[in-house]
Structure 1
Amino acid sequence: MPILASSYRPPRFLANGYLQSILPTLFRRLDDAHLTRERIDTDDGDFLDLDWSCQGSDTLVIVSHGLEGHSRRPYVLGTVREANRNGWDALAWNFRSCSGEMNRLPRMYHSGATDDLHRVVLHALTRGYRAIHLVGYSMGGNLSLVYTGREAHLLPEAVKSVAAFSVPCDLRSSAFQLAKWQNRIFMWRFLKDLRVKMADKAQRFPGRVTLKGYDDMSSFQEFDDRYTAPLHGFRDAEDYWHQSSSLRYLHQIRIPALLVNARNDPFLSPACFPVDIARQHPSLTLEMPDSGGHVGFIRRTPDQTYWMEQRAMAFIRSAHTVTADTLEKQPQTA
């Protein structure tokens, strides 16, 4: 599809990608009192915590958070609020280890763990929803795109669209992007947060996890080589990145899909802007605002409504007009 011109314009003096990435985390606050938590068991002896905000609709928006995020982050709550304002139910789910309680197994979550997202979708269908729309941010956006592409053969018919924002489509190049000196504050924060979890894993699973040398690590290549890959069945970081990058699976997506990556996102490499793929794809819309940062897209409003959440809802509304029959008649890309 054609590359879409973006309507997003940053507030004055807030166009910088680093400011857009940092300020929402520091200053944006939204109420989470309307969420109701449910815990579901997984078939491998673990659990997932789901936070619901329901209005009795037959349409559900499922929101997937980013790396070391959770269902109560402002961008997730903002998306839940906008879904409710449109009359839809919303479900914000927590990746394993991210709900405030450590999960039971050595494994946690990763960018290609589509099995858990599939569990959430199937569980939601038991409530009778006729339409499900996926919205994901950063890692959650990559996960949502991998799910709708790589696992297209498993996708229930009720899943009608996917919208993803600030997505590291190519995990390898994004890992090296974050390792650059100008991004050291982000890398330090991720490794600091993950250290707490790996310390817990090392205490409970001493034969599989160790903290030895952790404080000498400074990149995702080191972290993924030591922890992500062996705990989740990958050979090494390179194998993990290769198998879990949504860039590989975009061409397999057969439902309306939106990918929004800001050109000044400090986390993203040039490979995360798949212009050539989007131009040839029958159902993928690529939008590249000049500004927005990483999961930023700040907009000054009295109730702290941000552009990206409204953009996701607008895309979902438009997806209602696209039928499965229309997509099947369009040419497929290789």
Structure 2
Amino acid sequence: MIKYQPPLYFNDGLIQTLATKYWYGKTWQRWGDHVPWLSHLPQIYAWQEQIFTGAEGVPLWGLWSCPTHVKGTIIFNTGLNGIVKKAWYANLFARKAYNRNFAILLYDWRGHGKTAELSPVPSSYGWREGQDQIHLAEQLTKMGCPPPVILAGVSMGGQLALWGLRAAMETKCSKICGAATLSTHLESNLSLVHLRKTSIGRKIEQSFVRNFRAEGEKRRELFPHTLKPGAVECITSIDNYDREMVIDYYGFNSIFAYYHQTSALYFLDRLALPYLIIYSQNDPLFEPSIWPQMKQRMAQNRNAHLILTKKGGHISHISKTNNLEDHFWGMNRLLDFCETLVDCQA
């Protein structure tokens, strides 16, 4: 495996996170598939738009494509603010996966993007999205995307992928063989407290809140009967959003109980299918005490694979230029692991 080495100007995790988000996010919004940093990869011209059916009949909007010489299928989960068409990293991953002959699905999970226009059902940080991915895998294989199916994701999407792996284990879904995750969200109670300790962390939280309010306003416009009066106006923080929009729907008594129940950290030692977590010790979004707990739990599980780096930021892991691969080191390691999973199934 190629060792991770960031450029000197990206040694600080916060700087790398913000710079990566700004540069790649802004250029993707402007040029889309024609951004210069994707010019070395062939475009996916065979995207197909589809409304899938998740658990409890929840409709899920997605884009999928299957190459001619396909060897497996990947379901990719975007991060907390992720909307497929706006998420630069999701489209980067898709291009790379397709280039390696994987069928790929990008979808807006519960409460996000176009899926939020189809249903008022809120997100659950993976608790119900895990079952959604079982349904997605079943439908994709019927449509011609072959197993094995691999679940992938970044940040909160990484937690969704791990919940999908847990659901596959509990339902004995033979089509799903593993998961690959980057900058994986693992514990909500600790990370939210950590985020609020600094002014920049509070600004990052407010960037999430703006997106949550937009989704809340969309839900009020399309499904007004599903919200209490004044609910959208109460969305001034992440936990306020979950209090107003989520926990009553799923029957939780408190935000603490909801966050604890949905945090993937507490079942890492029990997953019976192979999975990868790529995690940076200087990820500015997560409480630093999480990674030692993650490391300890994963050490107890022979199915767990951990790449823990000292540097790398959040959804970044941009590397120095070298002659072996492009500088998207984190995405490249995810796909290397996906190929290993396919080889093990052969």
Shorter-chain TM-score tier = 0.7 to 0.9
Distance in 1, matches of 2:151 and 2:54, equals 20
What fraction of aligned residue pairs are identical, expressed as a percent?
Answer: 21
Distance in 2, matches of 1:301 and 1:211, equals 53
Considering only aligned residues, what root-mean-square deviation do their CA atoms show, in Å?
A: 2.7
Where does residue 12 of structure 1 map in the other structure? 8
Question: Structure 1 residues 101 and 42, CA, compared in 2 at 3 Å: closer, same or farther?
Answer: closer
Where does residue 53 of structure 1 map in the other structure? 65
SS for the counterpart of 1:163 is: strand
Q: Kindly indicate whether the alpha-carbon contact (under 8 Å) linking 1:60 and 1:132 is maintained by their aligned counterparts in 2.
A: yes
The question of 1:192 aligning with 2:210 is answered yes
Q: Kindly indicate whether the alpha-carbon contact (under 8 Å) linking 1:299 and 1:307 is maintained by their aligned counterparts in 2.
A: yes
Tell me the alpha carbon deviations over residues 150-174 of structure 1, each in whole angstroms, 9 at most, x when there is no partner.
Answer: 5512242121220111112111111
Moved more, 215-224 or 244-253: 215-224
Distance in 2, matches of 1:306 and 1:265, equals 16
Report the TM-score when normalising by structure 2.
0.83
Q: Kindly indicate whether the alpha-carbon contact (under 8 Å) linking 1:48 and 1:93 is maintained by their aligned counterparts in 2.
A: yes
Work out which of the residue numbers 73, 84, 88 in structure 1 matches 2:98: 84
Distance in 2, matches of 1:21 and 1:272, equals 19
Work out which of the residue numbers 154, 159, 167 in structure 1 matches 2:171: 154
The question of 1:127 aligning with 2:133 is answered no
Tell me the alpha carbon deviations over residues 73-110 of structure 1, each in whole angstroms, 9 at most, x when there is no partner.
Answer: 11111111111121221111111343346334332212
Q: CA deviation at 1:261?
A: 1.2
Equivalent pairs counted in the alignment come to 320
Distance in 1, matches of 2:174 and 2:332, equals 25
SS for the counterpart of 1:78 is: helix
The answer to which structure has the higher helix fraction is 2
SS for the counterpart of 2:84 is: coil
Question: Structure 1 residues 33 and 282, CA, compared in 2 at 3 Å: closer, same or farther?
Answer: closer
Report the TM-score when normalising by structure 1.
0.86
SS for the counterpart of 2:105 is: strand
Where does residue 309 of structure 1 map in the other structure? 331
Q: Kindly indicate whether the alpha-carbon contact (under 8 Å) linking 2:6 and 2:311 is maintained by their aligned counterparts in 1.
A: yes
Which gives a bigger RCO, structure 1 or 2 (Cα 8 Å, sep 6+)?
A: 1
Distance in 2, matches of 1:306 and 1:69, equals 19
Tell me the alpha carbon deviations over residues 168-203 of structure 1, each in whole angstroms, 9 at most, x when there is no partner.
Answer: 211111121222233012101110111111123234
Where does residue 161 of structure 2 map in the other structure? 144
Task: Give the AA of the match of 2:302.
Answer: P
Q: Which runs of 5+ in 1 are unaligned?
A: 325-334
Map 1:1-334 onto structure 2 (within 5 A). Answer: 7-28=3-24, 29=28, 31=33, 34=45, 35-42=47-54, 44=56, 46-56=58-68, 57-72=70-85, 73-100=87-114, 102-111=116-125, 112-113=127-128, 114-128=130-144, 129-149=146-166, 151-181=168-198, 182-210=200-228, 212=230, 218-273=236-291, 274-299=294-319, 306-322=328-344
